[in-house]
C-alpha cells in the first residue's frame, strides 16, 4: 500500500533562513505527489505538485520541491522563509486506481523572528 | 483554481443531536468528493469517498450509520454526523476534483470545526 512519511513533526527556523521539509513515499510506480499547507483552523492550500517531467517543481509562495526517484523523496524547499510561512505542511501521494489522496502526518513549521 | 466551499465553518451541538455539513463545488462539477477528519495536531484521515448518484465508499473503521454521506448532485455532497457524541468533535474537511482539468489535483473546502458538548 502507498504511504507517505514526514520524519519531522516540528521544524523551527529563523526568518530569512532556508528551509527543507522532508517527505518520503512508498509506491510501486511513479506517483503523483503534492505538498499542501494548512494554516490553523483552515483548509488546505496546494503549494505544488509533481506528475511527470522535470523533477524540480516550482510552486506558489516561493516554494519548490524535487522529486528523487532513487531516494523515494519529494522534499520541499524555500530559500528564505517569512514569518507568514509558519503553518502545517502536508506531503501527499495519490493512490492510483481509486484516486485517494494519502497524507503524511504533517510537519509544523515555526519561524523565529 | 476551482473553489470548494464548506458550510458551516463552525458548529456546536449537544450530544445526541445530528449535524449536517455541506460541501459544494462552486465553479465545477464533481462526480467524486472526499471527506476527511482531522484530529488536533494530526494528519487528515480519509473517511469516505462520496460518489454522485450512488452510495459512498467508506474507509475501514468508519461507521456508515454514524457518518451519513449523500451526494445528491454534481455540486453538493453532505456529511451528517448522527447522534453526535463528544468524541466526534473534530475538524472535518471535504475535497473534490474537477475532471475537466484533466489531472488529479484536489481542491479542499475550508473545513468545519465540530464541537459536541
Residue B102 is predicted with a pLDDT of 66
Closest Cα in chain A, distance from residue B3 (Å): 11
Chain A residues inside the 8 Å CB shell of B106: 101
The share of chain A scoring above pLDDT 70, in percent, equals 96
Closest Cα in chain B, distance from residue A36 (Å): 10
Residue B7: beta bridge partners?
Answer: B22
A 38-77: CB under 8 A from B = 41-46, 49, 51
- For residue range B33-83, list pLDDT tens digits in order: 999 998 877 888 999 999 888 889 999 999 999 999 999 899 999 999 999
Across A11-15, B17-21, B54-58, B63-67, least confident range = B54-58
- For residue range A55-104, list pLDDT tens digits in order: 999 999 999 999 999 999 999 999 999 999 999 999 999 876 667 788 99
Buried b or exposed e, range B5-41, using 16+ CB within 10 angstroms: bbeeeebebeeeeebebbbbbeebebebbbbbbbeee
Return the closest-CA partner of residue B112 out of B70, B83, B77.
B77
Residue B103 is predicted with a pLDDT of 59
Residue B53 is predicted with a pLDDT of 84
Q: How far apart are CA B11 and CA B19, in angstroms?
A: 8
Q: From residue A2, how far is each of A55, A78, B60 by CA, in Å?
A: 20, 27, 16
- Interface with A, mutate which of B7, B41, B44, B51 (most A CBs under 10 A): B44
Amino acid at each position: 500500500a502507498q504511504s507517505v512519511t514526514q520524519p519531522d513533526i516540528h521544524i523551527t527556523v529563523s526568518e530569512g533562513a532556508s528551509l527543507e521539509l522532508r517527505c518520503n513515499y512508498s509506491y510501486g510506480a511513479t506517483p503523483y505527489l503534492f505538498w499542501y499547507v494548512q494554516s490553523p483552523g483552515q483548509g488546505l492550500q496546494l503549494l505544488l505538485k509533481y506528475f511527470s517531467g522535470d523533477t524540480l517543481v516550482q510552486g506558489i509562495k516561493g516554494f519548490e520541491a524535487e522529486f528523487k526517484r532513487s531516494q523515494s523523496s519529494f522534499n520541499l524547499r524555500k530559500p528564505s522563509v517569512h514569518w507568514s510561512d509558519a503553518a502545517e505542511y502536508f506531503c501527499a501521494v495519490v493512490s492510483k486506481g481509486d484516486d485517494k489522496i494519502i497524507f503524511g502526518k504533517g510537519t509544523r513549521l515555526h519561524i523565529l523572528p | 483554481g476551482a473553489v470548494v466551499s464548506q458550510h458551516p465553518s463552525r458548529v456546536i451541538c449537544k450530544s445526541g443531536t445530528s449535524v449536517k455539513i455541506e460541501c459544494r463545488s462552486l465553479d465545477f462539477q464533481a462526480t467524486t468528493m472526499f471527506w476527511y477528519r482531522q484530529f488536533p495536531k494530526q494528519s487528515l484521515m480519509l473517511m469516505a469517498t462520496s460518489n454522485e448518484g450512488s452510495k459512498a465508499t467508506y474507509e475501514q473503521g468508519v461507521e456508515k450509520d454514524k457518518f451519513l454521506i449523500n451526494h445528491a448532485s454534481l455540486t453538493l455532497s453532505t456529511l451528517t454526523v448522527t447522534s453526535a457524541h463528544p468524541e466526534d468533535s473534530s475538524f472535518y474537511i471535504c475535497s473534490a476534483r474537477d475532471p475537466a482539468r484533466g489531472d488529479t489535483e484536489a481542491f479542499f473546502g475550508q473545513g468545519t470545526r465540530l464541537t459536541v458538548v
